[in-house]
Amino acid sequence: MIKLKTILSGLLLTTLSVFGASTVIAASCPIKIGGLAPLSAPGTVVGGEAMRDAMLIAQDDINAKGGVLGCDVKVVIADTEGLPEKAAAMMQKLITQDGVVAVGGGYHSSVGVAGKDVANAREIPVVFAETWNDTITGDKQKFIFRIAPLSSWASSTIWKHGLLVPGIKKAAILTENTDYGIPAAAETTKGLNSGGVEVVTFSVDIGTQDYAGIVERIKAEKPDLIIVLATGEAGYNFTQQSADAGIGPMDIPFHTGQVSLESKAYWENVPDGNLAFVQRIGVPENLFTAEGKKFAKVYKAKTGKGDVESYAMEAYDSIAILAQAINEAGSTDGNAIVNALEDISHAGTLGRIYFPYGTKKDPSADGKGSEWWHQWPDVALTVIQYQKEGQSSGDSPIVFPDAYKTGEPIYVK
């Protein structure tokens, strides 16, 4: 690869790169990378704010190390509100008005499903951080990558743990009518059914606040386990309203939403939430990578939080990976960035991130389904349990699976 870099007085950076027969012109400084996050309701605002903070920390870290292609990086944050129509519009705006060369972040699956086609059509690489729906990578689009777990994979952690509940015969699922909730409920139901467990499912719209009617209907079913597959603050509301009705985490085994990893907000909203189970992506803080420990220190100082949520780490890594790929590509051309991403080995906060399947090797070569296209395969999935009131999620024991287990679960009934 031959590179000729000239910085003009107007801070225009022109990079000439030869990849075979192609000539690539890089963007003006600063180089802009989009960052998707739900910062308004009905999206998961607490998660979106965590992701925004993490992506801006990534921007600062990248620039402190010299930036990308001799330019500073600017992360342009777009509020998706957790809505598919807003996500598509924001992706379009980032590309056509803000001039981003790649996009990271993304919390809700509906955001990924709606936004990926827009980015792929315009040849803008995307590394989704927290969008689980299998179809996001399942249609094998060239410019779409993901470091979050597959929904089918994440759901298996929940139902396999659920089958360990002593004497379980019936489970109740509260799910949202979204591209995350619908398939996650179906996958979880199928898994529990395979173990002889009856499942009843109750669906709600994203952002629902009042669960009184559904709580009473679930109570009448007399389940042995309740599973919450609703994102954001909805998980807080349902969990506490269930506790008020006598079917909360201290009454029966209760698997609450991932947003509950933000311990301060969880205990403020769910004072009766002790003994709740929560799925977590990644390992406990004492097992963080060197990059993870550095990020955790800065993130806690910036936010004042005592915990580092997995979705914040994913958001940070999505921006850092794109910056590395642009540098290794020597270009901001989308095809060149994709080529670099398919070859990347990134020392991230969550571990070594790489993408074994893509244009150079189809997942079918190893008997994998199409959903493994541009998918990071080494995501650690665990279940923690709050076992003391006010406990930090980082200090809570991992109770499943055995490979990461640090404590025994407490089951109530």
pLDDT digits (tens, 9 = 90+) for 103-158: 999 999 999 999 999 999 999 999 999 999 999 999 999 999 999 999 999 999 99
Residue 102: pLDDT over 80: yes
Tell me: pLDDT of 14 over 80: no
Average pLDDT over residues 327-345: 98
- Please report the pLDDT score of residue 8 as a whole number: 33
Share of the chain above pLDDT 70, in %: 93
* 3-class secondary structure per residue, the chain: CCEEEEECCCCCEEEEEEECCEEECCCCCCEEEEEEECCCCCCCHHHHHHHHHHHHHHHHHHHHCCCECCECEEEEEEECCCCHHHHHHHHHHHHHCCCCCEEEECCCHHHHHHHHHHHHHCCCCEEECCCCCCHHHHCCCCCEEECCCCHHHHHHHHHHHHCCCCCCCEEEEEEECCCCHHHHHHHHHHHHHHCCCEEEEEEECCCCCCCHHHHHHHHHHCCCEEEEECCCHHHHHHHHHHHHCCCCCCCCCEEECHHHHCHHHHHHHCCCCCCCEEEEECCCHHHCCHHHHHHHHHHHHHHCCCCCCHHHHHHHHHHHHHHHHHHHHCCCCHHHHHHHHHCCCEEECCEEECCCCCCCCCHHHHCCCHHHCCECCCCCEEEEECCCCCCCCCCCCEEECHHHCCCCCCCCC
- pTM of the model as a whole: 0.88
Q: What is the residue extent of each domain of the chain?
A: 3-150+290-372, 152-284+385-404
pLDDT of residue 11: 37
Residue of higher predicted confidence among 214 and 9: 214
Domains 3-150+290-372 and 152-284+385-404 alike in fold: yes
pLDDT tens column, 178-228: 999 999 999 999 999 999 999 999 999 988 999 999 999 999 999 999 999
pLDDT surpasses 90 at 25: no
pLDDT at 28 over 90: no
| 245-304 pLDDT tens trace | 999 999 999 999 988 988 999 999 999 999 999 999 888 788 899 999 999 999 999 999
pLDDT for residue 1: 33
> For the chain, what percent of residues have pLDDT higher than 90?
86
Query: Class of the 3-150+290-372 domain?
Result: alpha beta
Q: What is the mean pLDDT of the chain?
A: 92
| pLDDT value for 27 | 52
The domain 152-284+385-404 is placed in CATH, from the list 3.40.605.10, 3.40.50.2300, 3.30.470.20, 3.30.457.10, at: 3.40.50.2300
Q: What is the pLDDT of residue 286?
A: 81
Q: Average pLDDT, stretch 160-165?
A: 97
